[in-house]
Amino acid sequence: MTYQVLARKWRPRTFADLVGQEHVVRALVNALERGQLHHAYLFTGTRGVGKTTIARILAKTLNCEQGIGPTPCGVCSTCVEIDSGRYVDLIEVDAASRTKVDQTRDLLDNVPFAPVRGRFKVYLIDEVHMFSTSSFNALLKTLEEPPPHVKFVLATTDPQKLPATVLSRCLQFNLKRLLPTQIRGQFETVLRAEGVDFEAGALNLLARAADGSMRDGLSLLDQAIAFGAGRVGEADVRAMLGTRGGDLTLDLLAALAASDGARVLAEVARIAELTPDFAGVLADLIAMLHRLALAQQVPATLAIDDPDRERITALAARIPAEDVQLFYQIMLLGQADLPLAPDPRSGLEMVLLRALAFRPDDGETNTGADRAGAPGPAASAASETPATAAPTTARRSAGLVSGAAPPAATSAATHTPAPSSTSGPAAPAAELAGDSLEPKPRADSASARRPDEEPQRPSLTGPEDWYRLVQGMALTGLASQLVQHCAFRHWDGRRLCLHLDPSLRHLRAAAVEARLTEALSVALGGTVRLEIDASAPADASASARGTATPAARRAEDQARHRAAAADLLAADPAACELQQRFDADWLPDSIQAAD
């Protein structure tokens, strides 16, 4: 006996068999019961959600030998022939293969003739958006006023391409993408009826891989039964799905969480053995990051029966929320770069390495695991390798790190800059190099004192002391941005009061302030209670506090250095000769101090 695939064998025969399209079924059933039959229907939706199936059921309800009604008998010759696709009065047309206007006219020439057997002649035009403009024009008049014995049923996956003149002549029904729970429920019904043993976790994986399409889901179920030799097991399904199963995607994110570049490349190589669509792999990563963000912000969205629940929960606790958002943004933008890469695999590798390179570093460790509280054994090894300097340089170049030196290998060295290789007076707090102003961290007396020596807290009485303190702190990322734009107000030995301009209120976040508080406690040699006021200044004198921020001070220093460089350039004979010869002026913003 010839085997019939599940997608065809379990195709709905009545409205009651449909899954997930109750809003469409309700409207059609009510119209059939009341006799309010329209002459043209348009069904829209993604692949495999039931557009053609509903059109065939509608044709059966109109032509069933038991009479017009919402429930066809399913046993008369008309119902049997429609189910088998050989009913003479159901004309199914693939618009993609009949795009020429002459073919459309030939089709419409038969409209005036009465049906051969049924009450109505039903024209089912699939993928109607593929019609040409001329074909639509030829169809319009007939579609608006067809003979009483003709019904038009149009189906499309892209309704935006249909002319408004066509949309206005049809009753439009938008079919929804099916939820994984709906697809899984249908799987259970099918497998129990077929007598196939299954595991719940396997059905969850298949339902999610179906991507909202019941037809795709049943095809995957067919494949899983064959792969498992008559049994649908979770391990077999994960092996069958490969990159679509979620395991490889989670392994890749775990490597990113550990900031382990070698492991990231190894995971990409493992994925490449499955000959995947690398653009699809990147899309899966983006979707998984979305699930991680939901698990962090709204944990209730993670279903209890989700087969990846345990791993997603662990990753959500391990990767800081800001890193998840950064990874998501980098990979989202990386989709546009992927077609421009020499090959898709190298394009994916560059997107992942970019995520590692621009990942914020809190100045203590190099792994997101350590910043989130989980152990990160690769941190010390990674910080000792020369490759650590490259991501830091890249982040500074891109403007993601402002006003801070790269972190050293250990937490003690984090607040202790490397000794100068030259002797002489102390270096200034900031030096101009090229077009950037990079502050040099000052020596931290707390890290150099003996264990039995009483800690000495640095003086902190005004903006000048505050500027020197901030320049000696090895902060990066949002914490560095926040402290650079805070003006000093008051310090009583335990409580530090700062002022932040209200327009920069977006820099504040609980995690950022926690890191800043910890760094200030180390720099000031004791526990600090940080208070940041982001309200508008109460008086005119208070409005001048913005000039006391380290960022403003650095901007003033940079402007002073540029002005000095401009004066030197104006006094240089060679520069003056060039200016006179070409009757030119120097662009002020292009003048930079060499050192």
Q: Rounded to 10 degrees, what is the CA torsion of 27, 29, 32, 36? A: -20
pLDDT at 447 over 90: no
Alpha carbon distance 23, 44 (integer Å): 13
Least confident of 245-249, 277-281, 419-423: 419-423
Helices (H), 18-151: 22-34, 51-63, 77-84, 101-108, 133-144
Domains (ranges, CATH) in the chain? 6-174 (3.40.50.300), 180-242 (1.10.8.60), 246-396 (1.20.272.10), 402-416+428-553 (3.30.300)
Residue 489 in tokens: 């107000």
pLDDT at 101 over 90: no
- Residue 256 near residue 267 (C-beta atoms within 8 A): no
Residue among 143, 148, 138 nearest 42 (CA): 143
Q: What is the mean pLDDT of residues 485-504?
A: 88
- 530 membership: H or E segment, kind and range: strand 529-533
Tokens 């250990």 label which residue?
410
Is the model's pTM score more than 0.75? no
- The Cβ-side half-sphere exposure at 412, using a 13 Å CA radius, reads 5
Confidence of residue 243 (pLDDT cuts 50, 70, 90): low
pLDDT at 388 over 60: no
Q: What is the mean pLDDT of the chain?
A: 80
Q: What is the pLDDT of residue 389?
A: 39
pLDDT at 404 over 80: no
Residue 218 in tokens: 């049943």
Q: What is the pLDDT of residue 329?
A: 94
Confidence of residue 1 (pLDDT cuts 50, 70, 90): low
Confidence of residue 451 (pLDDT cuts 50, 70, 90): very low
Q: What is the pLDDT of residue 382?
A: 37
Q: What is the mean pLDDT of residues 32-56?
A: 92
The SS3 of residue 498 is strand
Angle at which helix 344-357 crosses helix 278-297, to 10 degrees, equals: 30
- Residue 252 near residue 304 (C-beta atoms within 8 A): no
Q: What is the pLDDT of residue 504?
A: 86
